[in-house]
Chains A and B, each alone.
Chain A
Amino acid sequence: MRFILRRLANYVVMLFVATSLTYFMASFFMDPRSNYLARNPRPPMASIDASLTAANINDKTPVLERYWHWLVGVVTRWDWGLSPTQEPVSGAISSRIGASVQLMTLATVLGIVLGISIGVYTAIRQYKWQDRVLGSLSTFFLVVPTPVLALGVVIAAIWINQALGFRLFYVTGLHSYSGSNFWLKLSDLGQHLVLPTIVLSIITGVTYHLTQRTYLLDTMNADYVRTARAKGLPLMTAIRKHALRPSLIPTTVQVAFTVAGVFTGAVITETVFAINGLGRYFITSIVQNDINASVAIAAFAGACTLVAALLADVAVAWIDPRVRLS
Chain B
Amino acid sequence: MNAIVTANEPADRLIRPGEFGVDPVLSVRDLHVSFASEAGTVRAVRGVSFDLLPGRTLGIVGESGSGKSVTSLSVMGLLDANARVEGSIRLKGRELLGLTENELSKYRGNDMAMVFQDPLSALTPVFTIGDQLAEALDLHQDLSRKQVRDRSVELLDLVGIPNPAERLKSFPHQFSGGMRQRVMIAIAIANNPDVIIADEPTTALDVTIQAQVLDVLKTAQRETGAAVVMITHDLGVVAGVADDVLVMYAGRPVEKASVDQLYARPAMPYTMGLLGAVPRPDRGENRRLVPIQGTPPSLVDLPVGCPFAPRCPVATDECRVAEPDLVPVAGNEDQLAACIRADELAAQGVTYDQVFTVDESAPSVLADVPRAERAPVLEVTDLRKHFPLTKGGILRRTVGAVKAVDGVTFDVREGETLALVGESGSGKTTTLLEILKLEAPQGGTIAVLGKNVAELPRAERRALRRELQIVFQDPMSSLDPRLPVYDVLAEPLHVHGWSKQRINDRIAELMKLVGLNPDHVDRFPSQFSGGQRQRIAIARALAVEPKLVVLDEPVSALDVSIQAGVINLLEDIQATLSVAFLFVAHDLSVIRHASARVAVMYLGQVVELGDTEAVFTAPRHPYTRALLSAVPVPDPQVERTRERIVLTGDLPSPAAQITGCRFASRCPTRALLPPEKQQRCDTELPVLTGQDHTVACHFPVSPENPGLPTKEN
Binding site for B on A (CB under 8 A): 6-7, 10, 222-236, 241-242, 245-246, 319-322
Residues from chain B with Cβ under 8 Å of A6 in the complex = 393
Establish whether residues B108 and A231, one from each chain, have CB atoms under 8 Å apart when the complex forms.
yes
Asked if B118 is at the interface of the complex by the 8 Å CB criterion, the answer is yes
Residues from chain B with Cβ under 8 Å of A229 in the complex = 78, 105, 108
Min CB gap A168→B, angstroms: 46
Establish whether residues B139 and A232, one from each chain, have CB atoms under 8 Å apart when the complex forms.
yes
Q: Closest chain B residue to A232 by CB distance?
A: B109
Do A322 and B125 form a contact, CB below 8 Å, given A229-B78, A232-B106, A234-B105? yes
Establish whether residues B105 and A227, one from each chain, have CB atoms under 8 Å apart when the complex forms.
no
A-B pairs with the 3 shortest C-beta distances? A232-B109, A231-B109, A223-B121
Contacts of B66-106 to chain A: CB distance below 8 A: 76, 78, 101-102, 105-106
Q: Closest chain B residue to A229 by CB distance?
A: B78
Contacts of B300-324 to chain A: CB distance below 8 A: none
Establish whether residues A322 and B171, one from each chain, have CB atoms under 8 Å apart when the complex forms.
yes
Establish whether residues B110 and A235, one from each chain, have CB atoms under 8 Å apart when the complex forms.
no
Residues from chain B with Cβ under 8 Å of A224 in the complex = 121-125
In the bound complex, how far is the Cα of B103 from the Cα of A235, in angstroms? 11
Q: Closest chain B residue to A242 by CB distance?
A: B124
Contacts of B423-478 to chain A: CB distance below 8 A: none
Give the total number of A-B pairs whose CB atoms are below 8 A apart: 80
Contacts of B511-538 to chain A: CB distance below 8 A: none
Establish whether residues A233 and B139, one from each chain, have CB atoms under 8 Å apart when the complex forms.
yes
Binding site for A on B (CB under 8 A): 76, 78, 101-102, 105-110, 113-114, 116, 118, 121-128, 135-136, 139-140, 171, 173, 184, 187-188, 393-394
Residue from A227, A229, A320 with most neighbouring chain B CB atoms (10 Å): A227
Q: Closest chain B residue to A243 by CB distance?
A: B124
In the bound complex, how far is the Cα of B126 from the Cα of A242, in angstroms? 8
> 23 interchain pairs (CB within 8 A)?
A6-B393, A222-B121, A224-B122, A227-B124, A227-B184, A229-B105, A229-B108, A230-B76, A230-B188, A231-B109, A231-B135, A231-B136, A232-B110, A232-B140, A233-B105, A233-B135, A234-B101, A234-B102, A245-B126, A246-B125, A319-B126, A321-B126, A322-B125
Q: Closest chain B residue to A319 by CB distance?
A: B126
Residues from chain A with Cβ under 8 Å of B118 in the complex = 223
Residues from chain B with Cβ under 8 Å of A245 in the complex = 126
Establish whether residues B116 and A226, one from each chain, have CB atoms under 8 Å apart when the complex forms.
yes
Beyond contacts A223-B121, A224-B122, A230-B114: 14 other A-B pairs, Cβ-Cβ < 8 A, are: A10-B393, A10-B394, A223-B122, A225-B124, A227-B123, A227-B187, A231-B108, A231-B139, A231-B187, A232-B140, A233-B139, A241-B135, A320-B125, A321-B171
Q: Closest chain B residue to A7 by CB distance?
A: B393
In the bound complex, how far is the Cα of B21 from the Cα of A178, in angstroms? 92
Residues from chain A with Cβ under 8 Å of B135 in the complex = 228, 231, 233, 241
In the bound complex, how far is the Cα of B78 from the Cα of A10, in angstroms? 49
Min CB gap B191→A, angstroms: 8
Establish whether residues A223 and B105, one from each chain, have CB atoms under 8 Å apart when the complex forms.
no
In the bound complex, how far is the Cα of B173 from the Cα of A7, in angstroms? 25
Establish whether residues A230 and B101, one from each chain, have CB atoms under 8 Å apart when the complex forms.
no
Establish whether residues B78 and A232, one from each chain, have CB atoms under 8 Å apart when the complex forms.
no
In the bound complex, how far is the Cα of B237 from the Cα of A20, in angstroms? 67
In the bound complex, how far is the Cα of B105 from the Cα of A280, in angstroms? 56
In the bound complex, how far is the Cα of B127 from the Cα of A320, in angstroms? 9
Residues from chain A with Cβ under 8 Å of B121 in the complex = 222-224
Residues from chain A with Cβ under 8 Å of B173 in the complex = 321-322
Min CB gap A162→B, angstroms: 50
Residues from chain B with Cβ under 8 Å of A223 in the complex = 116, 118, 121-122
